[in-house]
Amino acid sequence: MDFNQKIYDIVATAESKLTAHFTSLNNVAFLNQKKVLEAFQSNNVASRHMSQTSGYGYDDIGRDTLCKLFADIFHAEKAIVSPLIASGTHALTVALFGVLRPNDKMISITGAPYDTLRSVIYGDNIGSLKDFGVEYDQIELKDSKVDLHAITEAFSKSKYKLAFIGRSRGYEWRDALSVEEIGIVIKHIKKIDPDTVVMVDNCYGEFMDIVEPTDVGADLMVGSLIKNPGGGIAPTGGYIAGSTKWVDQVAYRLIAPSIGMEVGSYAAGYMQFYQGIFLAPTTAINAVKGSALMGQVFADLGYEVMPAPTANCNDIIRSIKFDTSEKLIKFIQSIQKASPVDSNVMPIPWAMPGYDSEVIMAAGTFVQGASIELSADSPIREPYIAYVQGGVTYEHVKLATMYCLQDLLNL
């Protein structure tokens, strides 16, 4: 691919504006790398932990140590980390079903939960929480912030077993929540009702800050291993971290009551999960640096970008607003073209299970659908927003930005 000199110039100009921002991002990666390294050391991680296991997996030290390692990194009492968790939605589903019982109520305090969770919570006759008699309420965000006043009001009328916080922007034109804000919200809820279980959907949020929701009082924090904490290496899986009491309940739901995480094997071995969490602090920051550059380039060209290129990031997503669906589709197709895998595939808008509108996705990834690798997706609905995330190397995202410029500007 030969790029016009003008493309190099646009990218160089954008890059020069990001020096200070990159220095501060590098420092986050450094401090998180230190935290992760020290957890490996205090858990005496050794070659034997990487081994494959089979059958029931009784006394599987690879599994047990991996769970311990995640718990320590996230400063949680306990964690479940498992390749038996199929996706982020699966992890969130078992967490919700682990805590909630018939006639309980849950409330989302960050507006609608991520698209795929909506059916899980209030779908009809598909084994949703609603089908099991769990009631659901929702509080909208106010100017991208959690509405504390509305929480006070809702809790004065109802008792909630579980409060749900979505940290990431999901498919919304809003900012992700900072861990600091999550902490303030949790304190507020616990003051009203200390028994309410606070669960955070932490997908895309890990290692964006030097603290995580479990550092500020979350009872449960849930994420996917084909996003940030898998470091671009973990082939599948999810995690749930939090207090022993609730993590145990989730394990009983994931595996079986009273058995929990005593069983579960993995015949492919655990090396990629260990290596993945070790690389994760750097990988996640590489992704954000890449998307900051892409964001700066598009902002310089007059596009609306969120978060602003040099703003603090609380998830790895960068949203770019296009004025037509054609440009949006072209942008996503350019990302696919710039991918190491399936670069010849042309993505088109398509109906996806769990999503309301048609979705177009670029995911030329090694691990199928891994969005810690460079990927972009968008529901085809107004306003036309592309959500870009991932990129295990900064240079790859930079190249992809150049592909986008070439296709959109016809330079």
Query: Is residue 333 within the footprint of ligand PLP (CB under 6 A)?
Result: no
Q: Which is nearer to ligand PLP, 79 or 96 (CB)?
A: 96
Question: For the purposes of burial, counting CB atoms within 10 Å of the CB of 115, is it exposed (0-12), middle (13-18) or buried (19 or more)?
Answer: middle
**Start-end of H helices in 207-301:** 244-254, 271-300
Query: Is residue 97 within the footprint of ligand PLP (CB under 6 A)?
Result: no
Residue 336 CB, nearest approach to ligand PLP (Å): 18
Please give the residue whose beta carbon sits closest to ligand PLP in the complex: 88
Site for ligand PLP in 269-288 (CB under 6 A): none
Query: Is residue 168 within the footprint of ligand PLP (CB under 6 A)?
Result: yes
Q: Which is nearer to ligand PLP, 65 or 236 (CB)?
A: 236
Query: Is residue 319 within the footprint of ligand PLP (CB under 6 A)?
Result: no
Instruction: Name the one range near ligand PLP by CB under 6 A: 5-13, 59-67, 85-93, 248-256.
Output: 85-93
Site for ligand PLP in 179-208 (CB under 6 A): 201, 203-204
Q: d(Cα 48, Cα 126) in Å, to the nearest integer? A: 42
> Which token pair is 32?
């998180």
Q: Which is nearer to ligand PLP, 88 or 347 (CB)?
A: 88
Strand partners, 304: 321
Q: Measuring CA to CA, which residue among 92, 332, 345 is closest to residue 220?
A: 92
CB 88 within 8 A of CB 151: no
Query: Is residue 172 within the footprint of ligand PLP (CB under 6 A)?
Result: no
Q: Which is nearer to ligand PLP, 166 or 231 (CB)?
A: 166
Instruction: Name the one range near ligand PLP by CB under 6 A: 82-90, 279-287, 338-346, 398-406.
Output: 82-90
Binding to ligand PLP by CB under 6 A, coded x per residue (else -) over 222-251, reads --x---------------------------
Q: Measuring CA to CA, which residue among 29, 40, 102 is closest to residue 72?
A: 40
Q: Which is nearer to ligand PLP, 203 or 297 (CB)?
A: 203
Residue 161 CB, nearest approach to ligand PLP (Å): 21
- Count the alpha carbons within 13 Å of 3 in the hemisphere toward its beta carbon: 19
Residue 226 CB, nearest approach to ligand PLP (Å): 7
Q: How far is CA 219 from the centre of its chain?
A: 18
Q: Which is nearer to ligand PLP, 17 or 174 (CB)?
A: 174
Site for ligand PLP in 128-157 (CB under 6 A): none
Cα distances from 80 to residues 52, 59, 74, 85, 209, in angstroms, run 18, 15, 12, 10, 22
Residue 265 CB, nearest approach to ligand PLP (Å): 23
CB 227 within 8 A of CB 239: no
Residue 15 CB, nearest approach to ligand PLP (Å): 27
Site for ligand PLP in 110-129 (CB under 6 A): 114, 116
Q: How many residues bind ligand PLP (CB under 6 A)?
A: 13
Q: Which is nearer to ligand PLP, 90 or 337 (CB)?
A: 90
Cα distances from 369 to residues 231, 348, 362, 366, in angstroms, run 14, 15, 9, 8
> Which token pair is 396?
């790859």
Beta strands in 204-269 (DSSP E): 220-224, 238-242
Query: Is residue 88 within the footprint of ligand PLP (CB under 6 A)?
Result: yes
DSSP state of 145: B
Q: d(Cα 196, Cα 83) in Å, to the nearest integer? A: 29
Q: d(Cα 121, Cα 134) in Å, to the nearest integer? A: 8
Determine which residue in the list 57, 83, 98, 170 makes contact with ligand PLP, applying CB under 6 A: 170
- Interface residues with ligand PLP (CB under 6 A) are 87-89, 92, 114, 116, 166, 168, 170, 201, 203-204, 224
